[in-house]
Structure 1
Amino acid sequence: MKSLLILIFSVSTLTLNAQNLVSYRDLMKKGVESETATKTLVENSKKAFESTKKPIFEAFYAMGNLLLAKHAGNPMKRFSYFRKGKSALDNAAKTDPKNVEIRFLRYVTQQQAPAFLGYNKDMKADKELILREYKNLEDKDLVQRIKRHFKIG
């Protein structure tokens, strides 16, 4: 009976965590067009990271800052948000180097970053890890996003 309760708790925790990550991914997608969604992403991920210290939430905080750079009108503010996002994203990848989602977020960011920023040194290693490991993920939403991005059947 005790084993069954532990199993149920573990599965429900994984399910809640996956649903939570989907909401962050959705906010990130909305944040491309909406500054309000971006600010919500920054606030929520910052709180989640501060309370859990999980690198995935630092990565979403980073993505929020990178999206704020897109919405900022002032070039100095843009660069400031970019640096903050880049630093947080690299730190998350350093803290949890085997996390496919963090590496995917960094890969996509580096792929889309303007060349003059010079933020592209990890693309090859990130892509190799993503393509090698995505098939082993239990998070079907993330698998689908990776497949769409890399145009995998």
Structure 2
Amino acid sequence: MKRITICAATILISTYVQAQSLNLNHVRRDFNKGVKNEDLCEKYYKTLEKEADTPIEKGYEAAFHMFMAKHTSNPLKKMSYFNGGKKLLEKQITNNPNNVELRFIRLCIQYYVPSYLGYSSKVEEDKTFVMNNLYKMPDEDTKDIIYNYLKGAKMYNEDELALLGR
């Protein structure tokens, strides 16, 4: 009987751990929902904080870190979340300046963040970089997610969208 209980517990724990593992495609798909949905944001924030290894994963970790600022009423926590995420994202971009996905993440955040936070100096640079380099991404699914997000965000005019979507 004891063996069955241990076996069942092991299966439950391993199922839980697998369910919590990082799925970057889900993170990408839900990226724009993290600002609005506190539960989703907290889920990704915690998962990414534990499991993010690659620069892109750390970029999304930074984004969800900043999104957490939206879901707290404490002004000090808001600034801590935002500044911590900003620092992490900037570090990833400094180390990987030609990574389209990292520049996309920063573009989206800087485009929508309130101007009083003073984090918008790279909007035009990132917008141009993403427009001129998205087509070079080898992963078609990721490219489609980014393109569709940007198309819906109305950051680009029709001519720019044509270049973005090539």
TM-score when normalising by structure 2: 0.71
Residue identity opposite 1:63 in structure 2: A
Residue from 40, 46, 51 that aligns with 1:48: 51
Counterpart residue type for residue 59 of structure 1: G
The sequence identity of aligned pairs, in percent, is 30
Structure 1 residue 46 displacement after superposition = 1.9
Task: Provide the C-alpha distance between the structure 1 equivalents of 2:69 and 2:59, rounded to a whole number of angstroms.
Answer: 15
Q: What 5-or-longer segments of structure 2 have no aligned partner?
A: 1-21
Determine the C-alpha separation between the residues in 1 that align with 2:31 and 2:119.
20
State the partner residue of 1:31: 34
Q: Which residue type is aligned with residue 43 of structure 1?
A: K
Whether the aligned pair in 2 keeps the contact of 1:59 and 1:92 (CA below 8 Å) is yes
CA drift of 1:44 comes to 1.8
After the TM superposition, list the runs of 4 or more consecutive aligned residues in structure 1 that deviate by more than 4 angstroms: none
Distance 2:31 2:146 in 1: 15
Larger Rg: 2
Q: Retained in 2: the 8 A contact 1:28–1:41?
A: no
How far apart are the structure 2 equivalents of 1:29 and 1:141? 16
Superposition pairs for residues 1-153 of structure 1, below 5 Å?
A: 20-49=23-52, 52=53, 54-148=54-148, 149-150=150-151, 152=161
Report the alpha carbon displacement of residue 99 of structure 1 after superposing the two structures with TM: 0.9
Q: Which runs of 5+ in 1 are unaligned?
A: 1-18
CA distance in 2, matches of 1:119, 1:29: 18
How many residues matched? 132
TM-score (norm 1): 0.77
The answer as to whether partners of 1:93 and 1:102 remain within 8 angstroms in 2 is yes
User: 141-150 or 38-47, which moves further after superposition?
Assistant: 141-150
Q: CA RMSD in A?
A: 1.9
* 1:28-74 deviations in Å (ceiling 9; x for gaps): 3332332221112112212223xx3x211111111111110111112
Kindly state the Cα deviation for residue 22 of structure 1 after the two structures are TM-superposed: 1.4
